[in-house]
Structure 1
């Protein structure tokens, strides 16, 4: 049995990626299927309505050109600066202005637990989650905006010119010569201890691992350079590890989400499925559905789109945003509200007042937090 770790010898690559392509995503889904409980497998099959989990894994890419799903483009990645510590990285991810892979994963999981959603919406949330867990394990999905995730970085592989995006989109996997079922069999090598450990890791940890790899890639890449056989062997070892982890972790997430659910084999999807947008407000669009919760219960609503009311006790302008302490003064606040974009202009108006906020709940340093970009997400008297 092989054991891979993210050591420097494996991470020092001269390549990058933007998408696993069909083979990679199908292999991840096939690995996940092997680690599902019988109850989870039954529920997954019910929501997918006969579609295989491997076929469902590529749906989120297939619909990328559909105008209905235009707003989901940013769900597949997150752009960050280089050189961040883990604490800085976590802070950047949580405080991003726009929807990204982290918020999309949290929202997909919240939707799968939401008993008010119809089968078509559950079908869509499941297909997004299957795909996005794979994307989260691709190092260049946690990458830089300035080179478009490697599209603008030219390299040579097999005596042909290409770019880092295309290289990792399929050329490296194709070079190995396996189809996705063979990949799933070859890559599913984790022992029970590894499976248990990987399945306890959070989505933030998945992204941090990808960020560590992409950082090393950028350190070593030479634009226009050649991807030789030695570099290929190092990179394919990383691919083995990340695809194995993605499959095992996807199964872990699904088993956890569906542990207490009972399958309903009579459910039929309602077509067409309305796209379920993550809770961050996009200017000019209608507000997504939200649940009213108490301020003291926010810790139980992580990843959900909620409406909550509380008094503003203090605020602090840190230039990039205004941090608002709701429910009590810092450090005893029940909610940290981060005002960004157009919402920053509300800071002086809401100080000392009772406000009602709509947004997605995240956790930062043990405290519930909501990032708000648009003023119409906050009501006050």
Structure 2
């Protein structure tokens, strides 16, 4: 019974404290990606094993446990001045967003950290910098970061936390690409100033905003267009600041780093033009016998499914009888909706996923549509 109650509690906590939502976190990562130096971008790609920053930006929400669930927020009372705020944060344990950011940065800086440790730490850092800039993640414990303050918006029930996670962003009606482009408006002087601020200052900014938000609503209130117009610029600001500052932190960590690749699987798949003897050309029917091999294979697409973070493309037959699933991630997601009923050629490493053959593709050059 205790295990069941704990499981239910963790599920409720996870659902309650996902910050910025899917679009917001991906926008933070996409903005950051544009402001990386070339060496930092290479290091990030290596440590993420070819996954894009946007694609891993919500990974930390999907891998919560009783310890890491506390890393996404910071609870404090209202009414603190700056000095009191800093003292309060420093007196807390490290099981909060501030302590977690410092911890993951230390892992990334430590030359003794393994590639697996750096992969995990980088995924957490990308996510937690976004969390630190969502105002309702630096807020009161008694209302669970605004989750118990019930509101109505767009003719539907919501709460103050969810309103700031995603509802205001969704109301704007922009695509992910438009958000990443339109929110990234900072000039050079602003970028320099924002990147000079410490994580403590990021949290102080969020605290001041959440204090204002608490004062500006009452439980049961209908959130109108005036509220949206007043605060959507703040959403823009916090996501842009998060992206710019994330890039700044990563550039400090990796700009002068020489990444040593010690495992072949840390590298993205080579383009189709590669004629290395290590890449075998096989028949689709033989793909299940080539687990672990780098192959080139051709087959007809029978079905596909876009699950936001990736696109699943089934060759040889429709799901669940497919001979091969091609998983489109990163830049390769641009093929979404274009491959059904087409014959395609794909190159990559064959892996086993729950008894089915898969090839994960991120490089657009690793897949081609046959004439």
Q: Is the 8 Å Cα contact of residues 20 and 135 (structure 1) preserved in structure 2?
A: yes
Which of 74, 87, 90 is 2:83 aligned to? 87
Query: What is the CA-CA distance between 1:97 and the residue it aligns to?
Result: 3.4
Aligned partners of 1:207, 1:108: CA distance in 2, in Å? 17
Q: Does 1:37 align with 2:46?
A: no
Shift of 1:85: 0.5
Aligned position for 2:49: 49
CA distance in 1, matches of 2:261, 2:181: 30
The correspondence for 2:252, drawn from 253, 256, 263, is 256
| 1:188 aligned onto 2:194 | no
Q: CA RMSD in A?
A: 1.7
Deviations 1:60-87 (A, max 9, x none): 00112xxxx3310110000000000000
Contact 1:49 1:268 in 2 (8 A): no
Which residue is equivalent to 1:28?
Answer: 28
Residue aligned with 2:66, SS:
helix
Whole-Å Cα distance in 1 between the matches of residues 238 and 18 of structure 2? 14
Q: Is the 8 A contact 1:119 1:268 kept in 2?
A: no
Question: How much has 1:18 moved relative to structure 2?
Answer: 6.0
Cα 1:213–1:269 change in 2 (3 A) is farther
Q: Quote the residue 1:19 is aligned against.
A: 19
Alignment of 1:266-345 (within 5 A): 266-267=262-263
Report the number of matched residues.
Answer: 251
2-side partners of 1:267 and 1:211: how far apart? 43
- What are the ranges of 5 or more consecutive residues in structure 2 without an aligned counterpart? 1-16, 267-371
Residue 234 of structure 1, CA deviation? 1.4
Superposition map of 1:1-381 within 5 A: 19-64=19-64, 69-97=65-93, 99-267=95-263
**Counterpart-to-counterpart distance in 2, 1:223 and 1:216:** 15
Report Cα offsets for 1:179-233 as digits up to 9, x if no partner: 2221010011000000010000000000000000001111111111111101001
Q: Which runs of 4+ in 1 moved over 3 A?
A: 265-270
Alpha-carbon distance in structure 2 between the residues aligned to 1:139 and 1:110: 25
Cα distance in 1 for partners of 2:179, 2:137 equals: 21
CA deviation digits over 1:259-289, x for unaligned, max 9? Answer: 221122444679xxxxxxxxxxxxxxxxxxx
Q: Distance in 1 between matches of 2:178 and 2:19?
A: 19
Q: Please give the TM-score of this superposition, normalised by the length of structure 2.
A: 0.65
TM-score by length of 1: 0.64
Q: Distance in 2 between matches of 1:85 and 1:238?
A: 21
CA contact (8 A) 2:40 2:255 kept: yes
User: Which stretches in structure 1 are left out of the alignment for 5+ residues?
Assistant: 1-16, 271-381
Report what 2:348 is aligned to. none
Contact 2:25–2:57 (CA<8 Å) still a contact in 1?
Answer: yes
Question: Counterpart of 2:158 in 1: which secondary structure?
Answer: strand
Give the Cα separation in 2 of the matches to 1:37 and 1:230: 40
Shift of 1:168: 2.2
Counterparts of 1:269 and 1:87, CA distance in 2: 48
Q: Deviations along 1:295-331, whole A, 9 cap, x unmatched?
A: xxxxxxxxxxxxxxxxxxxxxxxxxxxxxxxxxxxxx
Cα separation, 2, equivalents of 1:170 and 1:83: 27
Closer/same/farther in 2, CA of residues 118 and 235 from structure 1, 3 Å limit:
same
Q: Which residue of 1 aligns with 2:366?
A: none
